[in-house]
Structure 1
Amino acid sequence: MAFIDRVLEQPSYGWVNENGDLSKPKASQIFKEFFFRLNVFSNKKNWLSFTSWMMIVCLAVPLCFFIFKYFTFGLLFIAFAYSMIVMGSHGTVWYHRYCTHRAYKFRNPVWRFITQNITLKIIPEEIYVISHHVHHAKSDQPGDPYNAQGGFLYCFLADVNHQAIARDMDEQTYKRCVKLMQHTGQVSNSYLRYQKWGTLACPLRTIAGILLNWGFWYLTFYLIGGHALACTLFGAAGFWAVGVRTFNYEGHGKGEDKRREGTDYNQADMSVNQVWPGIVAGEWHNNHHLYPKSARSGFLPHQLDLAWCYIKFLHLIGGVTEYTDSKKKFLKEYYQPYKLAQIQPQPVLVK
């Protein structure tokens, strides 16, 4: 089997059914798998998925404080901006374009550390990065960890059910996973410790990093606006953490072909350009699947790309040394030929 076929832990219901098509589990099967893989008491190798969802549970507390104690329309606007724009753009900048696709390079680890921690830390890099490589290799095919054709729950709970790395890799395969994560700054487990914990990430380092990040940002928000602002922004981050799990279901047409001529130029999968994720997070998804290693995916004038704005700003001040920008290539290879075809007269058939 190829590396990409064996790098993720296959769910109990499998990637394919007996006919070789996508296995589409029932809701009961998905929930059963979800709680089985969250049970850290029966298997300590479930610690990373458990930690990821415990963060969401913890963030529900400040969200409740915001709603029931500190709510004002001003704070609601701040919460909206932080969850949709700040957290959304950071997810694109850090997890998507840097950690997975290496679309740009930092001058040194200091700039990388700043970018990594410029918002609340919510998603462990390992869960996102390895599985996202598989997603691009197998988009909308069996084995895609968040295949929209599997349904909403298939995608929404994919971080637990489908995105964990395999726990039975040989040493050479494991080293390839480590290599995929090296540029992110993560200090990965040795192969022996991987066999114990089932992850690249070290539990102590991971949890300590989350606590330090959360402690720094709560203190910062508190000093600016007291517990009201801190609870507002922590709650907003939790809201984003839940909402982002719906993105790939929507971003791949809810399992249907919703691509539009003149808008979605990539025909290799079902990804679509959506206006809202594009505006608030720079996630023009069809463009991204067309040029995944590009630091910019908003190629057209109306496609605002705030993630690209951050990367370009860092480049201007020296924090980023180089980047890949596929805008010119997109215009030359797709947009201009399409526009030219629209204005050329169509041949008239003579009977």
Structure 2
Amino acid sequence: MAFIHTVLERPAYGWTNTDGSLVKPTPVQIFKQFLSRLNVINNRRNWLPLMSWLMVLTLAPFFILFLVKYFSLKLLLITFIYSMVVMGTHGTIWYHRYCTHRAFKFSNNFWRFITQNLTLKIIPEEIYVISHHVHHALSDQPGDPYNAQGGFLYCFLADANHQPINRNLSEGDFNRCVKLMQHTGVKANTYAQYKKWGTVANPFYAITGVVLSWIFWGTVFYLLGGFALVCALFGAAGFWAVGVRTFNYEGHGKGKDMRRDGVDHNRDDMSINQLWPGIVAGEWHNNHHLYPKSARSGFKLHQVDTAWYYIKFMHFVGAVSCYHDSKKQFMKTYYTKALPVKLCPKTGLALKEA
């Protein structure tokens, strides 16, 4: 089978039925699969999804402390901005447009490192990047790791159930995974280490990176606002980490066709443009599926794109060497066709623009 169909670890309930349709597991099957994928006692190669969810659980007490002990309207506003705008925009810039789609290039590794670590580290790059390539190749089809037609839990727990890479890849296919990740700066395992750990990412470097990120940002937040700010912003990061796991379910119409004429121009899948994710994180999802390699997805006047503003600014100061922008192509192909045509009052023919 093609690489894209085998690169992810197949869940116990499978991707497809015998007739080729999507397997829609029950909640019990999904939770059973989830718990098995977090079990490092039975299989140490489950370390990456376990680490991903341990980070979320570790951040939960900070959120609770913020609510019960340090709550204030000022901190609530800061928490809102950090979780929705800062974390959301960074996710779009780093994981989505750079790590997965290479929509722009950094001038050097220093600026890549700065951008990578602009926020508290929450999501392992490997969990996101490789599975997201599959998502675009098989969008809303069986094998899509967060196919919205599978239901909310199918998407919400996808990072453990559907997104880890296959633990039995050939050396050639493993090297293809490494190549998909090499521009991100993630320290890769050798093939022998992969056979032991089941991941591209080396566990020592991955865990060390998370610990250092949390120590650094915890210190910064404490110096700026004491333990109250630490609780508020660590809690905000945890809130975002939970919320982002719901995005693809909603961003693909909750398994239904919710595309709108004149709004969602891509008709190859069920992705839709949503106002809230677009404004706070620059994630105009239907536009993105239309032009996945574009560093900008907010093409229309009202489509605020905070991720694009960052990329454009970094290019202005020389930190980004080049980028791909599909706005002109979008406007020419989709937007101008939607504009009313001016007709000549005498002949009734369309008037040509000067």
TM range (shorter): over 0.9
- Counterpart for residue 148 of structure 2: 148
- Alignment pair present for 1:177 and 2:167: no
Map 1:274-293; keep pairs closer than 5 Å: 274-293=274-293
Letter in 2 for 1:31: F
Find the aligned partners of 1:146 and 1:251 in 2 and give their Cα distance.
11
Q: Give distance in 1, aligned partners of 2:55 and 2:22.
A: 31
**Per-residue deviation, 1:339:** 2.2
Structure 1 letter corresponding to 2:209: G
Shift of 1:298: 0.1
* Change beyond 3 A, Cα 1:41–1:338: same
Aligned counterpart, 1:326: 326
Task: State the alpha-carbon separation in 2 of the partners of residues 197 and 258 from structure 1.
Answer: 41
Name the structure 2 match of 1:61.
61
Question: CA RMSD of the aligned region, Å?
Answer: 1.4
Does residue 127 (structure 1) correspond to residue 165 (structure 2)? The answer is no
Compute the displacement of 1:341 (Å): 6.7
Structure 2 letter corresponding to 1:120: L
Q: 1:146 to 1:341 in 2, by over 3 A?
A: farther
Aligned counterparts of 1:261 and 1:272: Cα–Cα separation in 2: 11
Show the counterpart of 1:70.
70
- SS of 1:322's partner is strand
Q: TM-score, normalised by structure 2?
A: 0.96
Paired residues, number: 346
Identity value in percent: 66
Counterpart position of 1:211: 211
Q: Secondary structure at the match of 2:14?
A: coil
The C-alpha deviation readout for 1:163-211, integer Å capped at 9, x for no partner, is 0000000000000000000000112000000000000011110010000
Q: State the alpha-carbon separation in 2 of the partners of residues 55 and 29 from structure 1.
A: 24
Per-residue deviation, 1:337:
1.2
Q: How many Å separate the matches in 2 of 1:335 and 1:189?
A: 46
The offset of 1:140, in angstroms, is: 0.3
How far apart are the structure 1 equivalents of 2:288 and 2:203? 32
Matching residue's letter, 2:182? Q
Query: Is the aligned partner of 1:268 residue 2:282?
Result: no
Unaligned runs of 5+ in 1: 347-351
Give a deviation string over 1:309-339, Cα, whole Å, max 9, x none.
0001100111001000000000001111122
The equivalent residue for 1:92 is 92
> 1:340: Cα distance to partner?
4.3
Q: Which amino acid in 1 is paired with 2:284? A: W
Q: Aligned AA for 1:305?
A: D
TM-aligned CA deviation for residue 343 of structure 1? 8.7
**Inter-partner Cα distance in structure 2 for 1:27 and 1:306:** 36
Match of 1:139 in 2: 139
1:230 aligns to what? 230
- Whole-angstrom CA distance in 2 between matches of 1:38 and 1:186: 22
Q: Who is 1:36 aligned against?
A: 36
Q: Describe the shift of the 1:102–1:41 C-alpha distance in structure 2 as closer, same or farther (beyond 3 A).
A: same
Q: TM-score under structure 1 normalisation?
A: 0.97
Query: Residue 80 of structure 2 aligns with which residue?
Result: 80
Q: Following the alignment from structure 1 to structure 2, what is the Cα–Cα distance between the partners of residues 248 and 236?
A: 20
Question: Displacement of 1:24 after TM fit?
Answer: 0.3
Q: Secondary structure at the match of 1:321?
A: strand
Q: Tell me how far 1:295 sits from its aligned partner.
A: 0.2
Q: State how far apart, in whole Å, the 1-side matches of 2:298 and 2:17 are.
A: 38
1:189 maps to 2:189: yes
2:127 aligned counterpart, secondary structure: helix
Q: Partners of 2:342 and 2:88 in 1: how far apart?
A: 35
Q: Distance in 2 between matches of 1:186 and 1:39?
A: 24
The aligned residue for residue 301 of structure 1 is 301
Please name the residue that 1:27 is paired with: 27
- 1:230-249 alignment, distance < 5 Å: 230-249=230-249
Residue 253, structure 1, aligned to residue 253, structure 2: yes
Amino acid at match of 2:122: I
Pair 1:222–1:343, CA change in 2 (3 A): farther
Amino acid at match of 1:201: A
Q: How far apart are the structure 2 equivalents of 1:34 and 1:75?
A: 34
- CA displacement, residues 206-258 of structure 1 (integer Å, 9 cap, x when unaligned): 01000000000000000000000111000000000000000000000000000
